[in-house]
Structure 1
């Protein structure tokens, strides 16, 4: 059957190849070592000349099934899974960048990613932060030693949206690798390959898993970038088609060096969660839009950050690119409203730091996940001291509205 829909493809992806004992989903393979009948065969697997499993640090049948599922979700050629989303970003960049290289990044970054990029500068890798909502800012930052441009689709927590179409064209023109973190949208809401992203990164902990019960990350090769032009590929990984070189180096060298491997049990949890991503995100986005409109008219709220509102600076951009406007939003309370008192009055909404959970979560970002960044950097990102980030869940919207209303009263 051709032209399967998104959810149909994900639900039936495991059974596109034979599964032991007729199981409907890929079983959990806990073995970290795999035996072969001949020495020639094990050598061929290790050298990448034959498909197979070498060692649990780099591949595993259960993790491999999830990788195939992520590739289908992103419309990519292949994927690699990692222990966390940060492991995916760290391993990818440490594998592909060298001292003396230059990285251009969106200034509107997840706090942990910002911390990593600051660490890269101590290793001799130059990093320039720009306002990526306009590709002209990225263009102005490009240098002869620029190798990668990195952006997030929707910024956390103030929902700035990168000019991915313009940046993708710019990277193609200059032969740069365009890396897009798709976590805040997810493969169901948006496929970065459409904007010429060469690599796509997802924190699977968030919308793909959806249940807050497993950490994981992934990097997907889209087939857009010409790796034969990239100077940092080692000769030993220039085997097969050039489209596989980057991901092969990330798996063979990156996973070996960092050891940031995903376990089979984790892959099973994330694979099961992925089956319902479209159903969950439709409900979450619907709830988020209703709440954003409620907040926009509430006298205690100074500002609402949500791409679904027509007042959002990148609303038209989001409407053109994304299937929905997502479920991440932030609100800035008016100065006279104590953010801690407001949060402590919430009864249904949970005070927690995760995103993409079935349950609605709230957190005061300036005092927690962006605290180490400092007041000056927070201000440049639009984060005020009384900014509250919300990850909207699948609860009945009437219950959510009632909880926020009583807390703001």
Structure 2
């Protein structure tokens, strides 16, 4: 069955008693036992809730994994995964990753004795060179945030398998609709489900899928013990969003390709980072391992003064953090999403004072281009 059909079917057969087409919201903390030593399969919503379970089973099917897990946020999901490790363990990590993940690693888990080395995970050689005797895992973004570098998931998974490391892939930018890392050999996928999966900028959620049943049991123990689970209302919102994942992603990708081409030809745009462009370093690799290129664009303008103009003078495109919703958003990584990364590291990576990030929505692309065009024009007229 095609993944777009699988997504639409999530939760459809959950309530056979009433035949409800959408899974009910089981807004309950606890469940009544039918008898002494007996259970309906649900005891307490931290340990399991039917609405959350429908979501967890749905994302597991979409990703081709043994089991899925839903958390209160993407950061909660990653935090839970880090509890698989212990003091002295070393992880290799994508260097230009989301700033919130970097903050979690460096300001929280570093003090508990975990070690992190940040490398360009689009280079297999750099990953191999970073290996240590105490390396336990690779944490890689399938498309990096914000520079959109492409990781060779199959090659990295093979390297991890040879060294008996866990391969954890943050697949937020591509979703299982475009890329299924577990099919390429990864052990775990993680998502900020607030983004493309929920898709409407109206909920915060995180999802994890484990490929191996034994690993899934370890993750469930941590999920239940720590308790940073997703509530039933938000679980329902993510399910609702996932049902339209394919049609949204198709439209967003189409818009992104047109916008990237338009930006590439603009005289005040110095560089466009979008893997769908033939000149992008990861274009061929992503074309070979994914069904598409996603809908995120990063671009550099020629003058820092243009940054504020584009952030504040666009009328249709909103200046806001986050991404993946139906509305097009623009943000400034240096001061917004990646502010917690040290300035010298940002400068080395290219997260600079002229870099902007676009999350392309489902609006008519001609309206989006016109909005950017009028904002650029205001700077040219000195109206910024």
| TM value normalised by structure 2 | 0.95
Out of 288, 292, 299, which is 2:256 matched to? 288
Assess if the C-alpha contact under 8 Å between 1:91 and 1:255 holds in 2: no
Question: Equivalent of 2:303, from 304, 312, 335?
Answer: 335
Contact 1:108 1:131 in 2 (8 A): yes
CA distance in 1, matches of 2:313, 2:161: 50
Q: Which residue pairs with 2:376 in the alignment?
A: 408
- SS class of match (1:188): helix
- C-alpha distance in 2 between matches for 1:83 and 1:215: 7
Are 1:92 and 1:254, in contact at CA under 8 Å, matched by a contact in 2? Answer: no
When the two chains are superposed, the root-mean-square deviation of aligned CA atoms in Å is 1.4
State the shift of 1:61 in Å.
Answer: 0.3
SS of equivalent residue, structure 1 residue 362: strand
Partner of 2:219: 250
Contact persistence 2:4–2:177 (CA under 8 A): no
Query: Which position in structure 1 is the counterpart of 2:380?
Result: none
Q: Could you tell me which of 330, 340, 345 is aligned with 2:313?
A: 345
* Secondary structure of the structure 1 residue equivalent to 2:353: coil
Q: Take 1:39 and 1:127, find their aligned partners in 2: how far apart are those partners?
A: 48
Q: Any stretches of 5+ residues in structure 2 without a counterpart?
A: 378-384
> What residue number does 1:106 align with?
94
Aligned residues: 376
Equivalent position to 1:176, from 138, 162, 165: 165
Q: How does 1:10-409 map to 2 (within 5 A)?
A: 10-42=7-39, 52-94=41-83, 96-118=84-106, 119-223=108-212, 244-257=213-226, 259-335=227-303, 337-409=305-377
- Bigger Cα displacement from structure 2, 285-294 vs 317-326: 317-326
Query: Who is 2:382 aligned against?
Result: none
Gaps of 5+ in 1: 43-50, 224-243
Contact 2:223 2:229 in 1 (8 A): no
C-alpha separation in 1, matches of 2:124 and 2:340:
28
> Could you list the per-position Cα deviations for residues 199-244 of structure 1 after superposition, in whole angstroms to 9, with x for gaps in the alignment?
1111110001000111111110123xxxxxxxxxxxxxxxxxxxx2
What is aligned with 1:230? none
